[in-house]
Amino acid sequence: MDMLIDQFIHFLAVEKGLAANTLESYQRDMVAYTTYLRNHGVNEIHDSSRTHIIGYLLSLQEKGRATATLSRNMASIRAFYQFLVRDKHLDKDPSIHLETPKIEKRLPKVLSIEEVERLLEGPALHNPAGIRDKAMLELLYATGIRVSELVSLSIGDVNLEMGFVKCLGKGSKERIIPLGSMANQIVRQYIEAGRPKLLKQSHETALFLNHLGKQITRQGFWKIIKRYAEQVNIRTEITPHTLRHSFATHLLENGADLRSVQEMLGHADISTTQIYTHVTRTRIKDVYAKTHPRA
């Protein structure tokens, strides 16, 4: 089964062009599933059945796993069996007609414009790390790119003269996003005055560097954004995606059309972007309830 998982991951990487993080997720899901099968006496994948799939999902449910986790595991298992049938390792797909657990769509938490401004004013600009931190926060809010995309940027991905940033999103899809004047200004300051002082090796191409002169990690940025949120007393729970959510919500609140926001966020399906319209409607209702004299 381990060999089949390796072949499956290779297929997803080469033929589907999935990102490294997505491949790791599939790998984890399939290792966990096949471990369950072995623990229940199934050592060959052709001996697995619909009953085993259901039993595995129930075991995750009993462990308190979220519906989203169950849904993702079901999707991984279904894709695995489809691959096995496609490559003639199996005659039948036992996952056919199994229903995927329904996920409750949670509205993303967003910051108010005032909170965003406080957060962006958090970093001090008297040292290279502070300039870097402000550049990262400004760039994230200005473009709405994912944190993984932010930390993966190379210095050649930012065109300050033309005012855009180029990033590689899910499925290795490239997109070009406009860069606002304030973000442009601080990124320029970082490249000219901050990055050279963090740089240790001249061949390093990563845009945002840590104190070792290496590409900053997602975990490193997580610590940065949490630190500044605490520093400026923002009580809203912040995740690395919070500025992305805030970017999309604030654009829609100020009249941006859904298709443009979808393109900037890099969503393959517009239904993913539409959740932000629910956020804006909820916020409008709150404003109405608090401000209208006859609400």
Is residue 170 flagged as an active site residue?
yes
Is residue 52 flagged as an active site residue?
no
From 146, 195, 245, 250, the catalytic residue: 146
DSSP lists the bridge partners of residue 165 as: 158, 177
From 72, 244, 245, 250, the catalytic residue: 244
CA–CA distance, 151 with 119 (Å, rounded to integer): 19
Is residue 276 flagged as an active site residue?
yes
From 89, 170, 214, 218, the catalytic residue: 170
Is residue 28 flagged as an active site residue?
no
Is residue 92 flagged as an active site residue?
no
From 175, 214, 226, 241, the catalytic residue: 241
Is residue 146 flagged as an active site residue?
yes
Q: Which residues are catalytic?
A: 146, 170, 241, 244, 267, 276
